[in-house]
Amino acid sequence: MSSIATSSAPLQICGMDVQDYLVKAEEFHGHLSPGVAMGGFLVDAAWRVLGPTPYLNAVVETVVCLPDAVQILTPCTLGNNFLQLLDWGKFALTLYDRETLKGARAWVNRQAVAAVPEVAGWFLRGAGGIVLPKDEVVKEIARRGPDLLLARPVEMPAALKPSEKVATGPCPACGESYPLRQGAACLACQGQAYYRF
Amino acid sequence: MSSIATSSAPLQICGMDVQDYLVKAEEFHGHLSPGVAMGGFLVDAAWRVLGPTPYLNAVVETVVCLPDAVQILTPCTLGNNFLQLLDWGKFALTLYDRETLKGARAWVNRQAVAAVPEVAGWFLRGAGGIVLPKDEVVKEIARRGPDLLLARPVEMPAALKPSEKVATGPCPACGESYPLRQGAACLACQGQAYYRF
């Protein structure tokens, strides 16, 4: 059924049509953002380099947008301990096997982005680019994703999230459970409470 | 002001049958855990106290399990900036309106848990309880959830995640974008890299 001259195959993200990924991303993330679009391609690129991975873990190097791409596309979530966050402000991530510690890191290629004014206006904060509405930027990323990033194998010296059970007990001030190693009271009762009753 | 016990609440989680929630939780979290089951009831309890909230934000006080309950049940995700994480090791969360700063906090009631050996064996790390397989603990929590926790209104002095744009530029060592306020090179090139190429 294929025609003689076919255009290049539509881009995919983790085996999913890009448009299908964007629908899922909008549903989970609440809106479509350039970051979650680019994040999908970063996950895809790292996973392609890594290959089939039975014990997949992930590290994201920013807390913005990227964690949602990982949580949509992989079994790694924040709450299940397989996604590690670094608040580094870098648009990059690593997927790795927590048994073999072999991984792949993917990151945005600044030079490639700089050559695309429609994306540079977003990623480079306007420097040398055209500042477009976000949905226009998403469209450009969806067309070009893999050309805007780089990925290569890495090795991890150690898994970043060893699970450990810590001893807990009741806080003498509020009565709630807390990790005893934090001191004589829980962090809220030590003065860090972010709320007022 | 006394705490509001939620024991009269029907056994639903955010308008969903508890069993339906558990199916969704298993799909997202990868397996059913007592923490994600309890987390569902915590979200539900806080939201009942808070009422309809147009600009919902969430704070979780542990990175284990609870973030997934919030991400399954609310529009707040880590990547969209509406879910704030505190690595405090406390099984508690707050939902609040980022415009009015009115919120509700829910937490596990240690005394109530201590009276239920099947749950105490998990939550109190075995102290005075019966250590059961996790799926048995989940069943007990699903039967009793609202009786095991407390929730009450809180006020927030400030929203915890103001969005700010920070200036970025290329790292002179690796060439990747990073927040310039972090210093003369990105954190990885300052020696914090968790990977080896």
Q: Spell out which residues of chain A touch residue B1, defining contact as CB-CB under 8 Å.
A: 197
Is the Cβ–Cβ distance between B93 and B105 less than 8 Å?
Answer: yes
Q: What is the pLDDT of residue B135?
A: 95
Residue B20 in 3-state DSSP? helix
As given in the structure block, the two tokens for residue A17 are: 């049509």
Q: What is the pLDDT of residue A8?
A: 62
Residue owning tokens 């964690």: A67
Exposure of B73 in the CB half-sphere (CA atoms within 13 A) = 33
Q: Which of B68, B177, B195 sits opposite A94 (nearest CB)?
A: B195
Q: Pick one of 3.30.1340, 3.20.20, 3.30.60, 2.60.40 as the CATH number of A165-197.
A: 3.30.60
Q: What is the pLDDT of residue B162?
A: 63
Exposure of A188 in the CB half-sphere (CA atoms within 13 A) = 28
Q: Outline which parts of chain A fall under CATH 3.30.1330.130.
A: 12-161
As given in the structure block, the two tokens for residue A73 are: 């596309």
Nearest-Cα residue of chain A relative to residue B111: A175
Does the pLDDT value for residue B2 go beyond 50?
no
Exposure of A35 in the CB half-sphere (CA atoms within 13 A) = 23
Burial class from Cβ neighbours inside 10 Å (0-12, 13-18, 19+) for residue B5 reads middle
**Which site among B80, B82, B88, B101 would you substitute to test the A interface, given the most A Cβ atoms closer than 10 Å to its Cβ?**
B80
How does DSSP assign B134-159, residue by residue? HHHHHHHHHHHGGGGEEEEEEE-SS-
Is the Cβ–Cβ distance between B93 and B58 less than 8 Å?
Answer: yes
Q: Spell out which residues of chain B touch residue A103, defining contact as CB-CB under 8 Å.
A: 195
Those residues of chain A that have pLDDT short of 50 are 1-6
Q: pLDDT of B112-156, one tens digit each?
A: 999 999 999 999 987 778 899 999 999 999 999 999 999 999 999
How does DSSP assign A150-183, residue by residue? EEEEEE-SS-S-------EEE-TTT--EEEGGG-
| Residue B5 host element (H or E) | strand B4-5
Integer Cα distance of B154 and B104 in angstroms: 5
Integer Cα distance of A61 and A37 in angstroms: 16
How does DSSP assign A83-100, residue by residue? EEE--S--SEEEEEETTT
**Which site among A26, A70, A88, A90 would you substitute to test the B interface, given the most B Cβ atoms closer than 10 Å to its Cβ?**
A90
Beta-sheet strands, E only, within B24-180: 56-60, 83-85, 92-97, 102-108, 149-155, 168-170, 177-179
Residue B84's alpha-carbon distances to A77, B46, B147, B162, in angstroms, are: 15, 16, 26, 11
Residue B161 has phi, psi (to 5 degrees) of -125, 70
Is the Cβ–Cβ distance between A30 and B80 less than 8 Å?
Answer: yes
Q: What is the pLDDT of residue A159?
A: 81
Is the Cβ–Cβ distance between B67 and B58 less than 8 Å?
Answer: no
Q: Outline which parts of chain A fall under CATH 3.30.60.
A: 165-197
Q: Spell out which residues of chain B touch residue A168, defining contact as CB-CB under 8 Å.
A: 89, 124-125
Tally of residues, chain B: 197
- Check B77 against A28: CB less than 8 A apart: yes
- Check A165 against B125: CB less than 8 A apart: yes
Q: Spell out which residues of chain B touch residue A167, defining contact as CB-CB under 8 Å.
A: 125
Residue owning tokens 């003369």: B184
Does the pLDDT value for residue B7 go beyond 90?
no
Give the predicted TM-score (pTM) of the model. Answer: 0.89
Does the pLDDT value for residue B9 go beyond 60?
no
Q: Pick one of 3.30.1330.130, 3.40.50.300, 3.40.228.10, 1.10.15.40 as the CATH number of B4-155.
A: 3.30.1330.130
Q: What is the pLDDT of residue A162?
A: 63
Q: Which of A108, A152, A188 sits opposite B177 (nearest CB)?
A: A108
Q: Spell out which residues of chain B touch residue A92, defining contact as CB-CB under 8 Å.
A: 176
**Which site among B176, B189, B197 would you substitute to test the A interface, given the most A Cβ atoms closer than 10 Å to its Cβ?**
B176
Q: What percent of chain B has pLDDT over 90?
A: 84
Residue B182 has phi, psi (to 5 degrees) of -80, -10
Nearest-Cα residue of chain A relative to residue B92: A176
Is the Cβ–Cβ distance between B177 and B170 less than 8 Å?
Answer: yes
Amino acid at A16: M
Fold annotation for A12-161: 60s Ribosomal Protein L30; Chain: A; (3.30.1330)
Q: Spell out which residues of chain B touch residue A111, defining contact as CB-CB under 8 Å.
A: 175
- Check B69 against A79: CB less than 8 A apart: yes
Q: Which of A90, A99, A72, A94 is nearest to A159 (CA)?
A: A99
Q: Spell out which residues of chain A touch residue B31, defining contact as CB-CB under 8 Å.
A: 80
